[in-house]
């Protein structure tokens, strides 16, 4: 019996961790806009988290519209943000990322779109009148710890991607600067050799002599 309870607890934990949502990483070209659409019921909570991983000043415009075309969220040149909202009408909700203010910088944007509240990890947990057993309490604790681990992994994964992008950009700048310095030193060295050679070159007198 305890083994079956443990199995049920594990299944409940894994099911709770698979809550409805979408995670995507997209490339946003310069002067471009990308939009996504999601049909939602009335009275449903959704959360949008996004962060610019690379490109330019790591900023992007973002806005969310309800099915009636009303803008319920709008931010400009944000590096990252989080937005939560309870839907008031049923229909297709639209959220867009815009890089139209940039004329040459490509952006890479990560976003996480979650729909609905997290389901209870145990059956009838919200309607229970008795206290949780020791095993059930352990399941709840493990579930909260796993959520914290997943959030931390996502955070560190994004930071690692952002730091790698910055390191590659810095490495490119250092490489171009090194090539430029090499060319300048090469030109200066040739100029110095030519200048010094002109100092030690003997000037011959003109061949014409004066008559007496």
Rounded distance between C-alpha atoms, residue 191 and residue 209, angstroms: 36
pLDDT at 17 (0 to 100):
39
pLDDT at 129 (0 to 100):
57
Rounded distance between C-alpha atoms, residue 117 and residue 102, angstroms: 36
- Pick 20-117's CATH classification: 3.40.50.2020, 3.40.50.300, 1.25.40.10, 2.60.120.680: 2.60.120.680
211 vs 94, higher pLDDT: 94
pTM over 0.85: no
Rounded distance between C-alpha atoms, residue 57 and residue 105, angstroms: 9
Predicted confidence (pLDDT) per residue in 107-130, tens digit: 989 998 988 776 666 666 656 656
Query: Are 111 and 23 contacting, i.e. CB atoms less than 8 angstroms apart?
Result: yes
Rounded average pLDDT over 144-150 = 81
Residue 13: pLDDT band with limits 50, 70, 90: very low
pLDDT at 91 (0 to 100):
93
Query: Are 17 and 150 contacting, i.e. CB atoms less than 8 angstroms apart?
Result: yes
């Amino acid at each position: 019996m305890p083994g079956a309870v443990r199995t049920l607890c594990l299944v409940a934990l894994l099911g709770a961790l698979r809550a409805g949502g979408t995670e995507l990483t997209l490339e946003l070209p310069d002067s471009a806009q990308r939009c996504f659409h999601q049909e939602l019921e009335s009275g449903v909570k959704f959360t949008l988290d996004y962060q610019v991983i690379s490109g330019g000043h790591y900023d992007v415009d973002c806005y969310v519209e309800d099915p009636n075309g009303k803008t319920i969220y709008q931010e400009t040149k944000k590096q990252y943000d989080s937005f939560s909202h309870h839907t008031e009408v049923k229909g297709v909700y639209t959220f867009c990322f815009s890089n139209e203010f940039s004329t040459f910088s490509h952006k890479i944007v990560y976003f996480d779109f979650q729909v609905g509240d997290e389901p209870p990890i145990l059956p009838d947990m919200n309607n229970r009148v008795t206290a949780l057993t020791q095993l059930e309490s352990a399941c709840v604790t493990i579930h909260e710890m796993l959520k914290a681990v997943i959030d931390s992994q996502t955070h560190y994964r994004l930071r690692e991607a952002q730091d790698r992008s910055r390191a590659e950009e810095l490495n490119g700048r250092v490489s171009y600067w090194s090539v430029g310095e090499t060319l300048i030193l090469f030109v200066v060295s040739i100029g110095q050799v030519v200048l010094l050679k002109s100092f030690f070159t003997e000037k011959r007198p003109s061949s014409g002599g004066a008559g007496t």
